[in-house]
Amino acid sequence: MNIKSKFWITLDGEKVFGKGPCTLLKMVEKLGSLNKAAKELNMSYSKAWGIINRAERLLGYSLLETKTGGTGGGGSYLTDKAKILIKDYDLFSNEARISLEGIFKKYFKGL
Amino acid sequence: MNIKSKFWITLDGEKVFGKGPCTLLKMVEKLGSLNKAAKELNMSYSKAWGIINRAERLLGYSLLETKTGGTGGGGSYLTDKAKILIKDYDLFSNEARISLEGIFKKYFKGL
DNA sequence: TAGCGTTGTATTAATAAAAATATAATGATA
DNA sequence: TATCATTATATTTTTATTAATACAACGCTA
């Protein structure tokens, strides 16, 4: 018996950021391209684009700086705000997961 | 900006119990009928039944004692194990929610 | 024994989510 | 100027989830 959890940031009750966007942004940071990141995560480009677009719209600021055309066709790079966001989200979610497991054991130990 | 979370109990990686089943069980306890509980929660009976059936199957013990026929058509009543489960889950989830909010503020204060 | 509101299923319909596809625009390079 | 991989989007198709419906069995009561 174990506990599993999900957390996401909301604004006016709407989901604006969570694990999915975070994973995607990290992959973009690594590969320099939203298209490549989507492929790597077995996700359609349109879905990946939708995730970023929605998050940016709701957050009110840009997460990706995009370049289209040119050598390699272009690419996508994280804005400073995106870097801060994924860092804070990571710290938060790790600490949250550990805390939750502790509380879970307190009430469901032995089961 | 706020945090929202979901947690559920798993067994061998499979979701076996969470907020949905917990809410449903409480309503059954209150109304004495799975059918009435489903209506009260704007849920089809078949869905409600599926939730309970799945949880019981995976947990390996009964959550509801059911009676069919007779005055009022029958009804459903919580087993002792179900009562313990919802009590522990409630204690756990309340404490978890409070802890999570604290951690969230630590990393996203001001935003 | 007829009627009632349940439980327990199976089957079908409706809705939502996800994925796939298509297409235009971009701009460095050869 | 032709090529290329990308972004940005709209549209369509597929898949998955959820809900609705239907119906037999049950057993108390009148």
> CA-to-CA distance for B61 and B58, rounded, in angstroms?
8
Q: Domains, chain B, ranges and CATH?
A: 9-92 (1.10.10.10)
Task: Find the Cα–Cα–Cα–Cα dihedral A99, A101, A102, A107, rounded to 10°.
Answer: 130
- Find the residue in B nearest to A85 (Cα): B108
Å separating the CA of residue B75 from the C1' of nucleotide D25: 15
Does the pTM exceed 0.85?
Answer: yes
- Residues 70-109, chain B: which have Cβ within 8 Å of A? 88-89, 91-92, 95-96, 99-100, 103-104, 106-108
B3 touches chain A (CB under 8 A): yes
Tokens matching residue A26: 């990290």
Q: Which amino acid, B14? A: E
Å separating the CA of residue A80 from the C1' of nucleotide D18: 41
In angstroms, what separates the C-alpha of A88 from chain B's closest C-alpha? 6
B6 touches chain A (CB under 8 A): yes
Is B6 within 7 A of strand D by CB distance?
Answer: no
Å separating the CA of residue A74 from the C1' of nucleotide D18: 41
* Tens digit of pLDDT at every position of chain B (111 positions): 888 888 889 888 788 899 999 999 999 999 999 999 999 999 999 999 999 999 999 899 999 999 999 988 999 999 999 999 999 999 999 999 999 999 999 999 866
pLDDT, average across residues A54-60: 92
Is B73 within 7 A of strand D by CB distance?
Answer: yes
> CA-to-CA distance for A25 and A59, rounded, in angstroms?
15
DSSP string, chain A: -EEEEEEEEEETTEEEEEHHHHHHHHHHHHHS-HHHHHHHTT--HHHHHHHHHHHHHHHTS-SEEEEESSGGGEEEEE-HHHHHHHHHHHHHHHHHHHHHHHHHHHHHTT-
